[in-house]
């Protein structure tokens, strides 16, 4: 296969990117931005197979192998080993991994009984063990790239300790700590960075109470919520320009912690 050279218009040409949770509000926008810059994108999904396949089919064509949708259940290590094998067989490489899969549920922070053990276990398994398991499964492919990037999608809840529930906040704090540990352990071949949005204006958030959403925007110095594209462009910046950055947490929050 002839080498695909990057150009200023397509700086990610020849690169292969896996986005877990790729059919979600943030994940889909990240997939679109990576594809627009020339990357071949693997849209990872758990239960949203049809949405993931539709997204992969709609992305601009990139590279000989193009885009695809593959099952990426982040809590199933055996399935992730199969995913790594499939990516290797199809593309022969993986240069960018975006851990975007995550879960939460709204539980008031003082409702300790409402945060039951099953919910706690699900949040930690998906938001903490999941990203680690994906990195572990993809490590050989990432290391072979020689210039790989892992982006963990975190949240300002890791710092502010305000968010959908106590364990969600704790899971994102753990994710940021893990980002630093993995950045040290996997350097220099693999960079690992967290991107930490404020409340993002996804379809899920748009369906919530409008007055509550407006209050969140008013409490943000830039007076709006994070758009999914804001988060996607932070990922793109790490892949194209901030190439000497690792072990860091990049805020995409409009200055919300300042209030």
Strands laid side by side in the 190-197 sheet: 68-71, 40-45, 16-20, 96-99, 148-153, 190-197, 249-252
Give residue-wise pLDDT tens across range 173-192.
999 999 999 999 999 999 99
CATH of 16-245, one of 3.30.1490.20, 3.40.50.720, 3.40.50.450, 3.10.450.50: 3.40.50.720
Q: Are 250 and 195 in contact (CB under 8 A)?
A: yes
Cβ within 8 Å of residue 63, ≥6 positions away: 4, 13, 14, 16, 38, 39, 40
CB-side neighbour CA atoms (13 Å) of 127: 26
> Domain ranges in the chain?
16-245
What percentage of the chain has pLDDT greater than the value 90? 83
* Residues 94/83, Cβ–Cβ less than 8 Å: no
- Could you tell me where the DSSP H helices lie in 116-165? 117-124, 130-145, 157-160
Higher pLDDT, 154 or 60: 154
Rounded Cα distance, 183 and 46, in Å: 26
Q: Tell me: pLDDT of 95 over 80.
A: yes
pLDDT tens, 232-252?
999 999 999 999 999 999 999
Phi/psi for 31 (5° steps) reads -60, -45
User: What is the SS3 assignment for 200?
Assistant: strand
User: What pLDDT does 75 receive?
Assistant: 98
pLDDT score of 103: 95
pLDDT score at 204: 80
pLDDT at 112 > cutoff 90: yes
**3-state DSSP assignment of residue 17:** strand
134/42 Cα distance (integer angstroms): 13
Does the global pTM surpass 0.85? yes
DSSP for residue 7:
B
Distance (Å, whole) CA 110 – CA 172: 19
Name the residues annotated as catalytic: 168
């Amino acid at each position: 296969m002839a080498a695909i050279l990057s150009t200023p218009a397509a700086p990610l040409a020849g690169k292969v990117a896996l986005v877990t949770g790729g059919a979600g509000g943030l994940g889909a926008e990240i997939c679109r931005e990576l594809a627009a810059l020339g990357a071949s994108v693997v849209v990872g999904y758990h239960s949203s197979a049809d949405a993931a396949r539709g997204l992969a089919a709609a992305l601009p064509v990139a590279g000989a192998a193009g885009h695809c949708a593959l099952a990426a259940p982040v809590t199933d290590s055996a399935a992730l080993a199969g995913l790594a094998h499939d990516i290797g067989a199809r593309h022969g490489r993986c240069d960018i991994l975006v851990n975007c899969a995550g879960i939460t549920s709204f539980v008031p922070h003082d409702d300790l009984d409402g945060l039951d053990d099953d919910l706690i276990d699900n949040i930690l398994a998906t938001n903490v063990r999941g990203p680690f398991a994906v990195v572990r499964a993809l490590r050989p492919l990432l290391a072979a790239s020689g210039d790989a990037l892992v982006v963990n999608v975190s949240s300002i809840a890791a710092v502010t300790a305000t968010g959908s529930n106590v364990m969600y906040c704790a899971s994102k704090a753990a994710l940021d700590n893990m980002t630093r540990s993995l950045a040290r352990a996997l350097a220099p071949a693999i960079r690992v960075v967290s991107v930490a949005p404020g409340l993002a204006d996804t379809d899920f958030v748009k369906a919530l109470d409008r007055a509550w959403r407006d209050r969140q925007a008013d409490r943000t110095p830039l007076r709006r919520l994070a758009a999914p594209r804001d988060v996607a462009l932070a990922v793109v910046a790490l892949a194209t320009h901030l190439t000497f950055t690792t072990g860091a947490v990049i805020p995409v929050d409009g200055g919300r912690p300042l209030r």
